[in-house]
A and B are shown apart, each in its own frame.
Chain A
Amino acid sequence: MKRPPLRRLIAMCAIFAFALASILVRLAILQVSQAQAYQARAMEQRVSTVTLPPWRGRLLDRSGEPLAISVPARDVYANPHYVTSPWSTAKKLAPVLDEKVKPLVRLLSSTGTFVYVARHVPVDVADRIAGMHLEGIDSIPVSARWYPAGALAPQLLGFVDIDGKGISGLELQYDSQLAGKAGSRTWEHDSEGRPIVGGIDVERPPVPGEDVETTIDRDLQYQVQTALAQYVRLNHATGGTVIVMDPKTGDVYAMATYPWFDPNDPGAAPVANQRNRAIVDVYEPGSTNKVITAAAAVQEHVLPLDRRLTVPWTMRVGPFTIHDSHPHAPERMTLGDIVAQSSNIGAVMVADQLGAPTMARYLSAFGLGRPTGVDFPYEARGIMLPLSQWSDASLATMAYGQGIAVTPLQMISVFSTIADGGVWVQPRLVRATIDGGGVRAAAPARTRRVVSESTARAVTQMLTYAVADGTGTEARIDGYQVAGKTGTARIPKPDGGYYTDRSIASFIGFLPAGNPKVVIAAILDRPTTVYGGIAAAPLFQTVARYAIERLGIAPAAPLPLPPHALPAP
């Protein structure tokens, strides 16, 4: 046998040695210099982190009944990469999702690795889809916002977007408290996505959002909305607003704006219906503003309560002629008569005695021209010109509520001030927030004294007279003394002047006059019945009856009527 040549053996050994050395060098490179990078890449492949969305808190009424809750749902998605037949998959999905086939085909044929097929799908529907075992189709658990009472206080509650973020109303105002904090789960898995036993598995649980307890009474809110819709129809009005409030605490029991919308499907109604007109829109208050004129006159002692003024039907103020709503011969009227009969000329005569600076001071003290500070987004401040910009007619028109714009909430606060003995109380919509740690009461409402208790009492007497024998008789309720004021305001044109055939009819009042428990503002937009005493006072009465029943309001000892020159009822 011939032995291999030594040189070949050496060559082979050298080749093997070189190959081994190369492997060793490569190993050294991989294990030493590039070790960290490869380790990181391996971890990236093995370890996944998912965000765990928090459960959004509930909106509750004042008794803890749910107004807005979150319910489990699924987002169905596709990885078009793995969808082998978009047409056949779409045909199977369409009837289950109640969608058309073509748009689904477009989605399933798109490029990329992730596309939503349907969002906020009920869990049972998502389970049916999962049961079909469609390639490239899967779902993610999410929560969907649901308003179980439908169109109940929708402008007040607001609604959320598809990602569960509040975009209007209290959902927006309290979004940070309602939203909670997202958690996460990090785990190690194999190539099929199965968890590796003993591997990394860290979960940071999400913190659920806080519940927000509103001041709304769900049942009263429903009754108010029913009444509002009924009276809008009866009076052929284009819309309306009703607010029911506690004068002592500022708690808003009900707040309705018609027309409304279903927050479960906000896109189905016009966007204008989403505005909470009680807070974000302004109107000229008309004669309800006379309560400020009267309160200022009493507080400033410019007119003794039994003093009689001779009030004509018309009056010349600068370049304008102002008149009462109906022609009448010159009449002897006390301040009580002026309020009860809603005399514009009488109000102008009283305002003249007050003077513009004093009138401006009282308008501001009652909260006009500035936001109430209620916890609601985009609250309007109203329109009140600074004193320096008042025209010759400003004092006169503001005395009876034209040439000034307010929100319904500002105006009900004026009457609430009188009902609460002269103390203005900030309205509030939220009583408390509730989380795992318990109940946190909202800060007490801000208050400030505007007029003395005796002034408030004198004005209340005038308001009871207005209901007993003035323009507000349609608001009377047997067994209760009601205090209130009608308002019929003309609507300004965008280019100046007023429409002659459009008005806002209102009635704002409280009861029982001797011990007020509830203040109610009833406002109708452009009723064919025109006047506050005809269109809005009956709406006030209907809502007041509901409030008496729901809140268990007992009658109080009646107040005497104010000094008056006109015959008593």
Chain B
Amino acid sequence: MLFCVVMAVMVLTLVSLKALLAQQSFAVDDLSKRIDALEGQHLELASEQAQLSAPGRIADWARQSGMRLPDDIRLLHAPDASTGPGGAGTSEGGT
């Protein structure tokens, strides 16, 4: 009798484990598919970003929108921090 119970429990455990494994493998499969889909989406977005940010495209768009490059560029010198607001000092890097 005891033997039968032990056997039944073992069989039940084995079947449950097998079912659990199968369930996990489905979950893994789903996750793999999701990873693939997200990777594909990432690639698509990256290439779209690359295309949209291409300087030629932006320049064309700007031109069509009536924008143009400035005729002259002047570099304004930010006042030196030590001289305070309105100071006469100069610093590099300001445009």
Roughly how many angstroms separate A285 CA and B59 CA in the complex, as a whole number?
34
Q: Most A CB atoms within 10 A — which of B47, B54, B72, B94?
A: B54
- A223 to B58 CA separation, bound complex (whole angstroms): 12
Q: Are B92 and A66 in contact (CB under 8 A)?
A: no
The interface bits of chain B over 9-28 (1 if a CB of A lies within 8 angstroms of the residue's CB, else 0) are: 00000000000000000000
Q: Is the CB of A478 within 8 A of B72?
A: yes
User: Taking the complex as formed, is B83 at the interface, i.e. its CB lies under 8 A from any CB of chain A?
Assistant: no
B94 to chain A, nearest CB (A): 7
Which of B50, B90, B93, B94 has the most chain A CB atoms closer than 10 A to its own CB? B50
Report, as a range, how many residues of chain A touch the other chain: 20 to 34
By a CB distance below 8 angstroms, the chain A residues around B53 are 65, 148
Which of B47, B56, B72 makes the CB contact (< 8 A) with A71? B47
Bound CA span A226–B56, Å = 9
Q: How far is the CA of A221 from the CA of B55 in the complex (A)?
A: 9
- Asked whether A149 and B55 contact (CB < 8 A) given A69-B50, A552-B93, A554-B93, the answer is yes
CA gap between A549 and B94 in the complex, in Å? 10
Residue A218 interfacial (CB < 8 Å): yes
CB distance from A231 to the nearest CB of B (A): 15
Mask of B71-95 contacts with A, CB within 8 angstroms, 1/0: 0111101000000000000111111
Q: Which residues of B contact A149 (CB under 8 A)?
A: 50, 54-56
- Total A-B Cβ pairs within 8 A: 56
Q: Tell whether A445 is near chain B: CB-to-CB under 8 Å.
A: no
Assess the B95–A152 pair: CB atoms within 8 A.
no
- The answer to whether A150 touches B93 (Cβ under 8 A) is no
- A73 to chain B minimum Cβ distance, whole angstroms, is 11
A226 to B69, CA, bound (A): 12
From B47, which residue of chain A is reached at the shortest CB distance? A71
Q: A66-B50, A149-B55, A152-B56 are in contact. Are A549 and B93 (CB under 8 A)?
A: no
Residues of A within 8 A of B43 (CB): 71-72
Cα A72 to Cα B42 in complex, Å, equals 11
Q: How large is the interface on B (under 10, 10 to 19, 20 to 34, 35 or more residues)?
A: 20 to 34
**A219–B54 CB distance below 8 A:** no
Closest chain-A Cβ to B36's Cβ sits at a distance in Å of: 11
Q: Of A218, A479, A552, which contacts B74 at CB under 8 A?
A: A479
Ranked nearest first, the 3 interchain pairs of A and B with the lowest CB-CB distance are: A148-B50, A222-B55, A149-B54
Shortest Cβ gap from A547 to chain B (Å): 10
CA distance A72 to B72 in the complex (A): 44
Contact A554 B75 (CB under 8 A): yes
The answer to the question of B46 belonging to the interface, with a C-beta cut-off of 8 Å to chain A, is yes
Report whether A66 and B55 are in contact in the complex, using a CB–CB cutoff of 8 Å. Answer: no
Q: Is A545 an interface residue (CB 8 A)?
A: yes
CA distance A553 to B59 in the complex (A): 23
Interface membership of A53, Cβ < 8 A: no
- Is A187 positioned at the interface, with any CB of B under 8 Å from its CB? no
Nearest Cβ distance between residue B54 and chain A, in whole angstroms?
4
Report B51 CB to chain A, min CB distance, Å: 5
Nearest CB on B from A278, distance (A): 20
Are B55 and A152 neighbours in the complex by a CB distance under 8 Å?
Answer: yes
Are A152 and B54 within 8 A (Cβ)? yes
Give the CA-CA distance A106 to B72 in the complex, in Å: 61
> B47 to A555, Cβ gap below 8 A?
no
* Cα distance, A494 to B6, chains bound together (Å): 99
> Closest residue of chain A to B90, judged by CB?
A554
Q: How far is the CB of A104 from chain B (nearest CB, A)?
A: 28
Instruction: Give the docked Cα–Cα distance between A71 and B91 (Å).
Output: 45
A548 beta carbon closer than 8 Å to chain B: yes
With A548-B75, A554-B75 already in contact, the answer to whether A72 and B40 are too (CB < 8 A) is yes
List 11 A–B pairs whose Cβ atoms lie within 8 Å, in order of A's numbering.
A69-B47, A72-B43, A146-B50, A149-B50, A218-B55, A479-B74, A545-B73, A548-B73, A548-B75, A552-B93, A554-B93
* Chain A residue at minimum C-beta to C-beta distance from B71: A545
Excluding A152-B55, A223-B55, 11 further A-B contacts by CB distance (< 8 Å) are A65-B53, A69-B46, A71-B47, A146-B50, A148-B47, A148-B54, A222-B56, A226-B59, A479-B75, A552-B94, A555-B75
